[in-house]
């Protein structure tokens, strides 16, 4: 597919890298000459210097032949004008990044009036990811399939864990739970393991199961954390506003600490039921005076990675049960490996994942049955949910008789309200939803799992 990305910033760069790796013809537009040079040196993409609102620039980028344009500059208005121009020049599908809540309140109108196929909001996606984690605090990360019927959660094997040395084929009998370890990260590599794979301390696991069985898993390994009731959020960003509303809908009490007084006054109007504190959270006395000791969870979502990390490290010293840190730069996530701050959230990665899912569905000319896509193990592995059609190659055949491609795993089958962790005798039926784990970028449709 021919794809144009307007805006070569953090999100544009991340999306361009993923789509180029998947073999798409990607062109990036940006007015910053230095950024264009950097992108052309780092990625296998075409770079065009110019304004994303200019029809001449869009023509130079090949808008007339483009299948998709993503408008991902820093400015909502630029993205909207870019989207309108792209439509008029012949781009088939248009996605715009829009962050302002005032615009998002008119999402349906904007999509129809501007001809947008999708609106992406990094702040909202980041808040939604953090809310999922806080609703299941035992996990490092939570990915939900089929409206919560099955989840894949991330867990790190600690020293002297009951999991050390256990072969995966023996896991269910040893712990008395029905879960499936679908991915293991070890020593910088990602494995889609078989039953003979033995676990080591330090392994990072992606574990598939129902919510009930996953809670039993965490209890069995001694890592079940109490439900979150009190949350402290550092930073009064847009992400904090979305997140506070989500958490309050779940019955959680929220304190937001923001050092800018004018922003605090805005937050009081936006979040009348939250406790808003004006103060600098990098000062430990501010955190202590405003309830850190009684908080079940601590979330750092300021615009400064350094402030987020420092305050989160202090919260960890104070034994807060669950800590989530938002970072903007990838290298911080690498530095934090082994720090004890396991739940690291990146808005740009979440949006890149969302767009990769959209593009993958578009790529199948017959109309993809893929409904969900998550990137695991730093993007090296994907978990995908497919709706099973009557003519799917896997229908009616016991799984032990299916010849799957290497590094491919059927992690779960959802049939109506029933969730099935498959074994060799499981048969997939039309109408089922199949959760597939595979090496990144390998699957566009369900039949691609067959060797």
pLDDT tops 70 at residue 339? no
Average pLDDT over residues 178-183: 93
13 and 114 fall within a common domain: yes
131 is a domain residue = no
35 and 116 fall within a common domain: yes
125 is a domain residue = no
Q: Report the CATH number at residue 210.
A: 3.30.70.1450
57 and 26 fall within a common domain: yes
15 and 71 fall within a common domain: yes
134 is a domain residue = no
Query: What is the share, in percent, of the chain residues with pLDDT greater than 90?
Result: 52
To the nearest 10°, report the CA torsion of 125, 126, 132, 138. 150
39 and 96 fall within a common domain: yes
Strand partners, 189: 186
Q: Which two tokens stand for residue 362?
A: 């578009």
What pLDDT score does 337 carry?
Answer: 63
Average pLDDT over residues 137-150: 81
127 is a domain residue = no
**Model confidence pLDDT, tens digit, residues 49-80:** 999 999 999 999 999 999 999 999 989 899 99
Average pLDDT over residues 176-189: 91
Say how many C-beta atoms besides its own lie within 10 A of residue 343's C-beta: 22
Please tell me which residue, 440 or 138, carries the higher pLDDT value.
Answer: 138
**Model confidence pLDDT, tens digit, residues 4-42:** 999 988 888 888 988 888 888 999 999 999 999 999 999
pLDDT tops 80 at residue 422? yes
What pLDDT score does 229 carry?
Answer: 95
Last residue of a domain, one of 204, 220, 236: 220
pLDDT band at 331 (very low <50, low <70, confident <90, very high): low
Average pLDDT over residues 399-425: 89
**Model confidence pLDDT, tens digit, residues 158-173:** 888 999 999 999 999 9
332 and 366 fall within a common domain: no
pLDDT band at 364 (very low <50, low <70, confident <90, very high): low
What pLDDT score does 336 carry?
Answer: 66
Name the most confidently modeled range: 187-201, 325-339, 356-370.
Answer: 187-201
Q: What is the mean pLDDT of the chain?
A: 88
Domain of 277 in residue numbering reads as: 228-345
Last residue of a domain, one of 345, 368, 387: 345
Per-residue three-class SS string for the chain: CEEEEECCCHHHHHHHHHHHHCCCEEEEEECCHHHHHHHHHHCCCEEEECCCCCHHHHHHCCHHHCCEEEECCCCHHHHHHHHHHHHHHCCCEEEEECCCHHHHCCHHHHHHHHCCCEEECHHHHHHHHHHHHHHCCCCCCEEEEHHHCEEEEEEECCCCCCCCCCEHHHHHHHHCCCCEEEEEEECCEEECCCCCCECCCCCEEEEEECHHHHHHHHHHCCCCCCCCCEEEEECCCHHHHHHHHHHHHCCCEEEEEECCHHHHHHHHHHCCCCEEEECCCCCHHHHHHCCHHHCCEEEECCCCHHHHHHHHHHHHHCCCCEEEEECCCHHHHHHCCCCCCCEEECHHHHHHHHHHHHHHHHHCCCCCCEEEEEEEHHHCEEEEEEECCCCCCCECCEHHHCCECCCEEEEEEEECCEEECCCCCCEECCCCEEEEEEECCCCCCHHHHEC
62 is a domain residue = yes
What pLDDT score does 181 carry?
Answer: 94
Average pLDDT over residues 239-246: 94
The total number of structural domains that make up the chain: 4
407 is a domain residue = yes
pLDDT tops 80 at residue 146? no
pLDDT tops 60 at residue 366? no
């Amino acid at each position: 597919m021919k794809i144009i990305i307007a805006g070569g910033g953090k999100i544009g760069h991340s999306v361009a890298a993923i789509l180029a790796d998947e073999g798409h013809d990607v062109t990036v537009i940006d007015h910053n000459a230095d950024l264009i040079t950097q992108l052309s040196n780092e990625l296998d993409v075409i770079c065009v210097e110019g304004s994303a609102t200019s029809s001449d620039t869009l023509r130079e980028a090949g808008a007339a032949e483009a299948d998709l344009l993503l408008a991902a500059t820093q400015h909502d208005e630029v993205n909207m004008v870019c989207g309108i121009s792209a439509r008029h020049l012949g781009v088939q599908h248009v996605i715009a990044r829009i962050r302002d809540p005032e615009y998002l309140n008119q999402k349906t109108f904007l999509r129809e009036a501007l001809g947008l196929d999708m609106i992406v909001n990094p702040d909202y996606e980041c808040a939604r990811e953090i809310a999922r984690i806080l609703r299941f605090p035992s996990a490092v990360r939570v990915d939900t399939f089929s409206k919560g019927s099955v989840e894949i959660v991330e867990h790190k094997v600690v020293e002297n864990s009951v999991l050390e040395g256990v072969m995966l084929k023996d896991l269910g009998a040893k712990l008395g739970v029905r879960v499936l370890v679908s991915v293991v990260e070890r020593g910088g590599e990602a494995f889609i393991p078989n039953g003979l794979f033995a676990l080591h301390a330090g392994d990072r696991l992606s574990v598939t199961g129902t919510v009930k069985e996953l809670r039993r898993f965490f209890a069995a390994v001694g890592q079940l954390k109490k439900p979150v009731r009190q949350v402290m959020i550092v930073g009064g960003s847009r992400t904090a506003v979305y997140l506070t509303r989500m958490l309050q809908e779940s019955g959680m009490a929220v304190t937001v600490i923001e050092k800018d007084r004018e922003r605090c006054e805005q937050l009081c109007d936006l979040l009348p039921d939250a406790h808003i504190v004006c103060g600098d959270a990098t000062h430990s006395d501010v955190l202590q005076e405003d309830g850190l000791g009684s908080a079940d969870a601590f979330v750092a979502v300021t615009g400064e990675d350094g402030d987020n990390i420092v305050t989160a490290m202090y919260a960890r010293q104070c034994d807060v049960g669950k800590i989530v840190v938002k970072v903007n730069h990838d290298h911080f996530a690498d530095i934090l490996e082994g720090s004890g701050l396991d739940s690291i959230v990146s808005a740009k990665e979440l949006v890149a994942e969302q767009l990769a899912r959209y593009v993958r569905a578009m790529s199948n000319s017959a109309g993809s049955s893929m409904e969900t896509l998550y990137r695991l193990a730093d993007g090296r592995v994907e978990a995908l949910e497919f709706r099973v059609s009557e003519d799917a190659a896997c229908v009616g055949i016991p799984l032990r008789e299916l010849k799957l491609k290497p590094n491919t795993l059927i992690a779960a089958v959802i049939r109506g309200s029933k969730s099935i962790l498959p074994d060799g005798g499981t048969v997939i039926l039309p109408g089922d939803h199949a959760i597939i784990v595979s090496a990144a970028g390998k699957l566009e449709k369900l039949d691609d799992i067959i060797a």
